[in-house]
Each structure stands twice: as C-alpha cells, then as structure tokens.
Amino acid sequence: MTVIPAKTNGEPAATETAWVYRFDELDRIEAELKPKDWDDVKAFLGGKGANLFQMTRLGVPVPPGFTVTTDACNAYLANDRAFPEGMWEQEVAAMKALEASYGKGFGDAHDPLLVSCRSGSKFSMPGMMDTVLNIGLNDASAEGMVKVSGDERFVFDAYRRLVQMFGCVVMGMPDEPFEGVIEDVKTERGVHGDEELNADEWRRITGRFKTLYRGFTGKDFPQDPYEQLELATRAVFNSWFGKRAVDYRNATGIRHDLGTAVNIQVVVFGNMGNDSGTGVAFTRDPVDGRRMLYGDYLMNAQGEDVVAGIRNTKRIADLKVEMPEVYAEFAAICEQLEVFYKDMQDVEFTIERGKLWMLQTRVGKRTARAAIKIAVDMANEGLIDRREALVRVTPDQVDMLLHPQFSNHIKIEAAEKGLRLVEKAVNASPGAAVGRAAFDADRAESMAKDGTPVIMVRPETRPDDVHGMIASKGILTSRGGATSHAAVVARQFGTPAVCGAEGLKINVESRMFVVTTDAGVFEVHEGDWLSIDGGTGEVFKGQLETQDPEFEREEELRELLTWADETRRLGVWANADYPKDAERARTYGAEGIGLCRTEHMFFEAERLPVVQRMIMATTRERRVGALELLLPMQRSDFEGLFRAMEGRPVIIRLLDPPLHEFLPGYEELLQELSDLKVRLQHFHTLSEIDAALREVREKEDMLARVSELREANPMLGLRGVRLGVMVPEITDMQVRAIFEAAARVIKEGVEVHPEIMVPLISDVGEFLKMLEIVKRVDAEVEKETGVNVPHKVGTMIEIPRAALTAGEIAEHAEFFSFGTNDLTQTAYGISRDDAEAKFLIPYVEAGVIESNPFQHLDRIGVGRLIEIAVEEGRRARPGLHIGICGEHGGDPNSIEFCHMVGLDYVSCSPFRVPVARLAAAQAAIEHDAVVA
C-alpha cells in the first residue's frame, strides 16, 4: 500500500524543486524556466507534454492533466531508479488538484476518475516507450462505474485493458497469454471481432487476466489506484532505456541523455457505445503530401485499437458522414493547429458520447515525397518562408525520393505471370523493396546482418519489432491501416511498407503465409523472395527488377532545389566517367565534373587486352605501340564528356591505380598455369601441344610480370603520379587524348573547359614532372590542330605531406581537389577495406570513435589537414579553386564542413547531386549571417 502524504495543495514549497506541472500552467513554466525558444519547453516537458500545455492555452478541448518533467526522469535514472526528493508528493498533490477540478475521486468506488500514464520525450518516438490506460480502475470502482454508466460491457472492456497493459508494461508479462484468452472466448462464442463480445464475457476475461497476473507476478493485481499510478510512472521512466527505445534512438540519432516526461491525463472513453470512437489523423496526407485530412478511426473503441492494427479501420473522411458536427469541429481544430505550429500535425482524438476531445498533437512523420511537397506547398501558401522550407526537408529525404522503383511494365508482366499476390492493400509507405521473407523481428535483424535483404512479414507490428523494421528493406502486414504502428515507423525510416493485406493468412509459428489469388493458392515460406510496392499497395512473389526514378517528373523537388541553388555558396559537381553519367549529372543539377576516373575506361572488355599488352611490353617501343591503340579510345571518351557538359568544367584525373590491377591475380594465374600443365599431358596431336605450349609461355610471362609488379602495400606503392613519373608514356597518351578531344569538340562550336588533375602527389617535384608533359603535349596539339585549348592543371591532395606543403605546390598548381578517401587512409595509417572489415565498425559500436571516418569526414584530424592546405594554398595563390571529390562530397555532414572551411565546390556521384545541393544550402543557412 502506497502511503499518500498529507500535503495536497499542488504547489511545491519555495525551496523545493518543481517536478510536476498542470496542463494549464504554461505561463508559470515560461516564468520559471525562461526558455530561449519552444525547443527548451519541449526538452523540459517532452514534445507530447509541451503540446498538451499549448493546446490547453489555445482553448482546444483537451482532457485535463499534468506532466512530470524530463528532469525528474533523468534524476530518477541517475539516482539508482529512485524518485527524486519531493517528486512523488508533487504528483499526488497534482492528482488531488485534478480531482477537485474534475469533480471526481481518483479510483472512487462510486464514480471514479481514471487517468492514462504516457511517455513523451523532446523528439517524437512513436510507440517506442510505454503507456498505461485506465489507471484507477479496481474491483470496487469497476462496479461503481457499471452503476453510473449503465454499461457493464464498456466498464469491463476498460478494466481488462488496464490489467493487460499493466501486466505487460509494468510487470514485463508477455502479451500472448492475454490475447490467447480473448481468442479462446471468441472461439467459444463463434465470433471473430472483439466488438462482438458481450458484458459477461468481458467480465470473465477480466477475471482470467487477473489470474494470469497473479500466476506471473505472485501478487494480486493492485487495487490501490495510487500504487497503480506510482508503478506506471516508474515503468514509463524505465522505458526510456528499453531495447526498442534505444534501438530507435540509435537509428534516428536522438541523444540518450534527454529522458522522457510522464503525462498523466484524464481518460476519456471511445468505447462507450456507437456515439463514441477514437482515431488518429494527419492534417495532410503523410504519404504524398496532399492538403487533406488523412487518417483512420473506429467507433466504440479505445486508441490502441487503431494504432495497433488489431481491427481494420475506417477512413477519416467517413466520419464526415457518420458524425458531421463532430467532423466539422475536428477539421477546424486541425486547421487551427497546423496554422499555429506551421507544420503538418499528427493528432489523436476521442469522441466520448458525441463530445470531441483532442488527446495529442505532434509534428507528423511523413514520407520523403510528402516532406518535400508539404515544405514547398507551405512556402507557396505563405505559412513558412523558403529558407524554412529548405531546412524542413532533410538530405536523407531527398535521397529516399530518388530510390529505385518498379516500372509499370515490370509489374504488369509479373501480374500476367500470376505472381501478383496482393493487388491492392494499404500503400502505407512508398518505394520498391525486394527481399527474402522473415516472420519476426529477431530473424529479420539476423538475416540483414548476414547481408540478406529482408521483407519483414507480420500480422501487425508492435513497438518491440522496431529493431527488425529498421533492418528490413520493406514491411508487409496483414492487418492495420495508414496510421498503424507499421505504417508510421516505416514512413519515419523511409522503408517501403504495405499494410492491411487481409488476403494473407500468416502463420508466424510455421513461418509462412498462404494467399489465394485468381492464379491459384500460393505459399510463401521464410527465405522466399518477395517484392512489395509501398506506393501502390501491391505485393509480388519473386524478385522484380527496379528502375531509376525520373527526376524530371519530381516537380516539387526541382522547385525546392532551385531555392537551394539560390541560397548555397558551395558549387555542386559530379563524379562521372562516361557521357551517360555526365548527362545524368547535368539532369540532377551538377555544375561540372569534379572527377573523371580514366582508369575505369581501361577496364572495358575491348580495351583490357590492349592495356595488358601495354603493361606486358618489355620495350618502350612496344609500350608506345599499345598506347597508340588506346589513344583513340580515350579521345572518344573525352569527346563524349565534353559534349555532354557543354562548356562546364570537366576535371580529368590521370591514371591512378597500380598497373597490377589490370592483370589477373597472382594466385589466379598460378592456378591457371597449373591446370594448363596438367591438361598438356593429355594432348596428343602436335598442333594441340604447340597451342598449349604457347599458352603456357604466355601465362608464364604474365605471371613473371605480375610477380614483378607485386607490392607489399600496393595502395602506397607505384601508382598515381609515381606511375606517371616512372612510365611517362602513359601520361603523354592521356594528356594528348584530352587535348585532341577538346580541339575536335571546340571545332564543333562547343565550349570546352578541361582541367587535368595529377593524383597522389607528395612532393612538388612530382607535379612539376607532370606539368612539363602537359605543357609539351599542349603545344604539340595546338600546332597540329590550330586550336588553343583553355585548360587548367591541378592536383589531388590525398597525402598528408601534400597538405602540409600545399603552399609550395600551389605556386604551380591551378586548383586543388581533396581526395578524402585516400587522405583519410593515410592520415589514420589504415587500409579502408581491412579496417572496416576488422575493427573500424566495432570501434564505432564500442564508442572508441564517434563515427566511421570514411562515411563522415573526420573534422579534427583529416579536417585539420584540409584547413592547413586551404590556408597555405590560398596564401601562395589567392583565389585558388579548391574542391573535394571523395565519397565525402555527397555526405551532408562533410558538406557542412566543406562550407565552413571555404571550399568552392563538392563533387559526388550523380545520384547524390540533389542531396548535395540541399545540404550545401542548409550549411549556408546555418553558418552564414546573410546569404547572397
């Protein structure tokens, strides 16, 4: 029995820390806390609590209540999970004040006041922490409610919910035994839905639930309402470090030290009959962003019925027909909240005997497509300005929107083959996903860790499934609607999802489902391939081919990126090796080619034998002969790039990798030679033996050359500029191909701006050697063609010594480009492939380092080298053009750093160009007082 203290005035003593505030005390909080902005209030009260306080101030019909602050949670967790001094007394006092204002006694035996206990952190974490409803019900108060309400069925439906939620949330009981009891009773009655059970059956179910509770805990279900409240409060605090909450925060980058508030709120009931109901809605469509109310509701139900996906719901538009006056009030409140918060809202509501109550509002989770459309539309409507629209959309959302899709042709073809399992379910989260079926979250996570793409298949998802959802490529459920847990979490992470596919008969224990279509009966077992289209609600058996999205059709994205271009200072270029890559890069908005890797052209099938002949050459004459065959091939490549870019700069990196990469591997050649000598013993004709002997000699020659070229650490060996110095004929051929291609395209009337980039220099002397070749070949080609090709010669900075001697190098180099992949390797003294496979990822997981330096630029170490090179380079050559062309050029965190240190551009893959355009604008908004 919890002792209730005598103090009941609801106000803390002058020297006491205030841990608890009523919903109508926002003015008091602002006076005491003196918040800088609304974020400070959200951090103090949690997002849910802060919005309940704000809605109360706005006059929105909110059931009264109070909030225990996040400070109290953090103090509780820091104090070995003991309530901080005075907190519980304040919570009891707030409850007494609530009783007085509401005119009912908490747990009263005649007409009880019941409350919910809900979590709420600064950032929305839907379903990740715990909730307990109907606190205050016990045997006596349940009988009292029956007399007052005259509805025994409603009362015992509410009571069994309390026992079930309390058992699962507070005492850690599994949910399945409770659900098993309900299924048993429904089977006895021969009914399918919970709503078909009568009062006597809910009374019996409640009794059986209490027996389950006693069997699991060894105690009777608590009859003291204050004991229920205290244990529920502790459970919510404890849920901050529950597995699903931690997994969610890890996946979304939310800090672990924020804590959760506890919101205690009077319960209003949506399950009091056909004039009562509950629902969840968004003020705009969270899937595609259209301006319309979007959501689900159920009559004669409580809130968890909608979110859990246990019952298939009605569309919110149907409420307009079913209860027109309530719908009109609801729509007006939604408009009021969206205008006030200046963003799409996700609201929860309950209708109790015809009276509308708003239980929650928060900024709604949305798909990438919806996020972009809503931001652009709200800016065009004047609700927010363009800069705010640019900040609202994340670079990840832009990336998600450009993920592959299924073409209509591919889907029609699959349907004609009878492979479409579901024609139309709830299109809960758009995008195409292909993976192997997994029927529980742990299995999905395990398969994904092994590198298997996964489609997680469940009847419905629960918060405990979040780790599997995060690991999956797609989510498929047989129950639930557009606001179910599966749908909301999938949209949060940009994961394609199809929900409410009622035709699927899922057997989780057997790890399979059965579905009947016009083409027959299909079984899908764990490990079978599935393809789902979250944009249309279709499901297919097997692996469907995906295609790239059509950027030209994304009107809102293109408009948003136009605003980004007007805002950003950094240029955005692309890494492209072929004309088709350059054309795609231009379509996505690239302003130049920041890296053309010429070695990729050498790996093409018709060229590789010529390259190998050049490498195998034992004399300069033979090497030059092979290079002469390669010259027209390279020239043609560069002509295509120049034409595609139409006057925009094209930076071409001279050959970078070591020569052995163009030859078969040493062990591979040894095996082939061994096999060939074995086969030689079985040849009988002279011609067969001669041919085999020639092949043996060729293999032996190649093996000798590979052995000669082998290095202990090839990434730090004979490659890049070092290869150019040792084998200058290669540089000669490549530079000639560049200038000849430029001359030809200039004669066609196309403006051309080639920039020749020397890789991997560590000493200015290396650069000077290459510069001599460039100048000589330039003069030769100009004499031969009569065309002066405007060009620049610069270098990559990817060795620490080059960064430290950048001033000396800049006296001769006309531009710098940071190759941050190699710069990171050489700064850390590690091999990327070995490090990521063996220790780098565990380092991140163990907190040894904050993040993988190959994903996010290491600002402290590698970043310092970049800063030195920028400062020294521009001191020697004012106005030196400097960019970045490693993989970091498409990473928003790294792009922000590039803006901060004053680089001129970033270069990334064509598909990351839209991401980089937005990230560069956001960096300008964040760091520049005035953006030109």
670: Cβ contacts below 8 Å, ≥ 6 apart: 703
Residue identified by tokens 């949305």 is 366
Residues of 453-483 as b/e, b for ≥16 C-beta within 10 angstroms? bbbbbbbbbbbbbbbbbbbbbbbbbbbbbbb
Nearest to 721 by CA among 759, 679, 748, 671: 759
β-pairing, 593-597 vs 649-653, is parallel
Residue length, the chain? 932
Distance CA 441, CA 90 (A): 40
Nearest to 467 by CA among 497, 493, 496: 493
HSE-up (13 A, CA, CB side) for residue 825: 18
Nearest to 663 by CA among 603, 723, 725, 731: 603
Catalytic residue of the set 73, 117, 467, 485: 485
Distance CA 466, CA 462 (A): 7
Helix 555-567 to helix 368-381 angle (10° resolution) is: 70
Distance CA 398, CA 368 (A): 7
Distance CA 585, CA 239 (A): 46
Q: Is the dihedral of CA 523, 529, 534, 536 positive or negative?
A: negative
| DSSP of 39-51 | HHHHHHHHHHHHH
Strands (E) in 140-238, as ranges, are none
DSSP 3-state of 125: coil
β-pairing, 753-758 vs 792-797, is parallel
Active-site residue, 812 included: no
Nearest to 818 by CA among 833, 801, 803: 803
Q: What is the rounded (10 degree) CA torsion for 773, 776, 779, 784?
A: -90
Distance CA 670, CA 225 (A): 80
Tokens of 26: 């926002």
β-sheet bridge partners, residue 433: 532
Nearest to 883 by CA among 817, 815, 807, 800: 817
Distance CA 924, CA 900 (A): 9
Distance CA 122, CA 43 (A): 5
Nearest to 702 by CA among 736, 763, 659, 745: 659
Radius of gyration of the chain, Cα coordinates, nearest whole angstrom:
34
Q: Is the dihedral of CA 908, 914, 918, 924 positive or negative?
A: positive
Helix 892-900 to helix 913-927 angle (10° resolution) is: 50
State the DSSP code for 295: E
Cβ atoms of 922 and 390 closer than 8 Å: yes
Distance CA 293, CA 344 (A): 10
Catalytic residue of the set 73, 885, 898, 908: 885
Distance CA 393, CA 368 (A): 8
851: Cβ contacts below 8 Å, ≥ 6 apart: 844
Nearest to 918 by CA among 892, 900, 894: 892
Active-site residue, 499 included: no
- The total of other beta-carbon atoms located within 10 Å of residue 707's CB is 12
Edge to edge, what strands does the sheet with 294-299 contain? 314-315, 294-299, 277-282, 345-352, 355-363
For the annotated catalytic residues, the residue numbers are 485, 885
